[in-house]
Amino acid sequence: MSDLLLDTHALLWWWSADPALSNSAQEALRDSRNNVFVSAASAWEIATKFRLGRLPKYEGAVLRFNEFALDAAMQHLPVTYQHGLRAGSYVAEHRDPFDRILAAQAELESLILVTRDTAFREFPVRVLW
Protein backbone atom coordinates (compact mmCIF):
# COMPACT_ATOMS: atom_id res chain seq x y z
CA MET A 1 0.00 0.00 0.00
CA SER A 2 1.23 3.49 -0.87
CA ASP A 3 0.02 7.01 -0.22
CA LEU A 4 0.11 8.99 -3.45
CA LEU A 5 -0.19 12.70 -4.21
CA LEU A 6 -0.99 13.63 -7.78
CA ASP A 7 0.83 16.45 -9.51
CA THR A 8 -1.72 18.57 -11.37
CA HIS A 9 -0.88 17.25 -14.84
CA ALA A 10 -1.16 13.66 -13.60
CA LEU A 11 -4.53 14.47 -12.03
CA LEU A 12 -5.89 15.98 -15.24
CA TRP A 13 -4.53 13.14 -17.34
CA TRP A 14 -6.13 10.57 -15.02
CA TRP A 15 -9.50 12.30 -15.15
CA SER A 16 -9.38 12.65 -18.95
CA ALA A 17 -7.90 9.17 -19.60
CA ASP A 18 -5.00 10.81 -21.40
CA PRO A 19 -2.44 8.28 -22.66
CA ALA A 20 0.35 10.67 -21.58
CA LEU A 21 -0.08 9.27 -18.06
CA SER A 22 2.58 6.59 -17.62
CA ASN A 23 1.65 2.94 -17.29
CA SER A 24 3.17 2.73 -13.81
CA ALA A 25 1.16 5.76 -12.68
CA GLN A 26 -2.03 4.28 -14.13
CA GLU A 27 -1.40 0.97 -12.36
CA ALA A 28 -0.76 2.70 -9.05
CA LEU A 29 -3.94 4.76 -9.38
CA ARG A 30 -6.01 1.69 -10.25
CA ASP A 31 -4.69 -0.23 -7.25
CA SER A 32 -7.40 0.08 -4.60
CA ARG A 33 -4.83 -0.61 -1.86
CA ASN A 34 -3.27 2.81 -2.50
CA ASN A 35 -4.55 6.01 -0.95
CA VAL A 36 -4.70 8.79 -3.53
CA PHE A 37 -4.61 12.43 -2.49
CA VAL A 38 -5.42 15.53 -4.51
CA SER A 39 -4.10 18.86 -3.29
CA ALA A 40 -6.05 22.07 -2.88
CA ALA A 41 -3.08 23.58 -4.74
CA SER A 42 -4.09 21.59 -7.82
CA ALA A 43 -7.58 23.10 -7.70
CA TRP A 44 -5.97 26.54 -7.51
CA GLU A 45 -3.57 25.73 -10.36
CA ILE A 46 -6.31 24.34 -12.64
CA ALA A 47 -8.62 27.31 -12.02
CA THR A 48 -5.79 29.78 -12.57
CA LYS A 49 -4.53 28.18 -15.77
CA PHE A 50 -8.07 27.76 -17.11
CA ARG A 51 -8.79 31.45 -16.45
CA LEU A 52 -5.59 32.39 -18.27
CA GLY A 53 -6.57 30.26 -21.28
CA ARG A 54 -3.80 27.71 -20.75
CA LEU A 55 -6.15 24.78 -20.02
CA PRO A 56 -9.14 25.47 -22.30
CA LYS A 57 -10.33 21.87 -22.50
CA TYR A 58 -10.49 21.41 -18.73
CA GLU A 59 -13.51 23.55 -17.82
CA GLY A 60 -15.11 20.44 -16.35
CA ALA A 61 -12.23 20.09 -13.92
CA VAL A 62 -12.96 23.60 -12.67
CA LEU A 63 -16.73 23.17 -12.46
CA ARG A 64 -16.73 19.62 -11.07
CA PHE A 65 -13.41 19.32 -9.23
CA ASN A 66 -14.90 17.84 -6.06
CA GLU A 67 -17.21 15.49 -7.94
CA PHE A 68 -14.32 14.19 -10.08
CA ALA A 69 -12.19 13.64 -6.97
CA LEU A 70 -14.92 11.82 -5.09
CA ASP A 71 -15.82 9.67 -8.11
CA ALA A 72 -12.16 8.62 -8.35
CA ALA A 73 -12.03 7.86 -4.59
CA MET A 74 -9.44 10.57 -4.04
CA GLN A 75 -8.94 12.32 -0.74
CA HIS A 76 -8.66 16.09 -0.55
CA LEU A 77 -5.44 17.44 0.93
CA PRO A 78 -5.71 21.01 2.21
CA VAL A 79 -2.78 23.39 2.18
CA THR A 80 -1.70 24.18 5.73
CA TYR A 81 0.57 26.84 7.11
CA GLN A 82 3.20 24.11 7.65
CA HIS A 83 3.11 23.33 3.94
CA GLY A 84 3.44 27.02 3.15
CA LEU A 85 6.41 27.49 5.48
CA ARG A 86 8.19 24.44 4.08
CA ALA A 87 7.49 25.42 0.46
CA GLY A 88 8.86 28.89 1.08
CA SER A 89 11.97 27.62 2.83
CA TYR A 90 13.24 25.29 0.10
CA VAL A 91 16.60 26.48 -1.19
CA ALA A 92 15.85 25.00 -4.62
CA GLU A 93 15.80 27.55 -7.42
CA HIS A 94 12.50 26.21 -8.75
CA ARG A 95 10.08 29.15 -8.79
CA ASP A 96 6.70 27.54 -9.54
CA PRO A 97 4.60 28.09 -6.38
CA PHE A 98 2.28 25.18 -7.22
CA ASP A 99 5.20 22.76 -7.49
CA ARG A 100 6.75 24.07 -4.29
CA ILE A 101 3.51 23.49 -2.35
CA LEU A 102 3.08 20.00 -3.83
CA ALA A 103 6.68 19.16 -2.90
CA ALA A 104 6.13 20.40 0.65
CA GLN A 105 2.93 18.40 0.98
CA ALA A 106 4.56 15.25 -0.36
CA GLU A 107 7.53 15.66 1.97
CA LEU A 108 5.66 16.57 5.14
CA GLU A 109 2.83 14.08 4.67
CA SER A 110 5.19 11.27 3.52
CA LEU A 111 3.41 10.92 0.18
CA ILE A 112 4.80 9.67 -3.12
CA LEU A 113 4.38 12.36 -5.74
CA VAL A 114 3.01 11.09 -9.05
CA THR A 115 4.63 13.34 -11.65
CA ARG A 116 6.67 13.34 -14.80
CA ASP A 117 8.15 16.74 -13.93
CA THR A 118 11.91 16.31 -13.45
CA ALA A 119 12.04 19.61 -11.53
CA PHE A 120 10.98 17.68 -8.43
CA ARG A 121 14.48 16.20 -8.27
CA GLU A 122 15.41 19.48 -6.56
CA PHE A 123 13.15 18.61 -3.62
CA PRO A 124 13.38 15.89 -0.94
CA VAL A 125 10.41 13.91 -2.23
CA ARG A 126 9.80 10.43 -3.57
CA VAL A 127 8.45 10.38 -7.12
CA LEU A 128 6.57 7.80 -9.15
CA TRP A 129 6.31 7.97 -12.91
The confidence score (pLDDT) of residue 12 equals 97
Map residue 129 onto helix, strand or coil.
Answer: coil
Could you count the other beta carbons within 10 Å of the beta carbon of residue 119?
A: 15
Residue 64 CA, distance from chain mean position = 16
Residues in the chain: 129
DSSP letter, residue 24: H
- What is d(CA 77, CA 59) in angstroms, rounded to the nearest whole number? 21
Stretch (H or E) spanning 112? strand 112-114
Contact criterion met (CB below 8 Å) for 77 and 109: yes
The confidence score (pLDDT) of residue 51 equals 97
Q: Residue 13, CB half-sphere, CA atoms under 13 Å: how many?
A: 18
Q: pLDDT truncated to tens, each residue of the chain (129 aa)? A: 999 999 999 999 999 999 999 999 999 999 999 999 999 999 999 999 999 999 999 999 999 999 999 999 999 999 999 999 999 999 999 999 999 999 999 999 999 999 999 999 999 999 999
Task: Say which residues have a Cβ less than 8 Å from residue 86's Cβ, sequence separation at least 6.
Answer: 104, 107, 108
pLDDT tens digits along 78-100:
999 999 999 999 999 999 999 99
pLDDT tens digits along 27-38:
999 999 999 999
- What is d(CA 57, CA 15) in angstroms, rounded to the nearest whole number? 12
pTM greater than the 0.75 cutoff: yes
The confidence score (pLDDT) of residue 114 equals 98
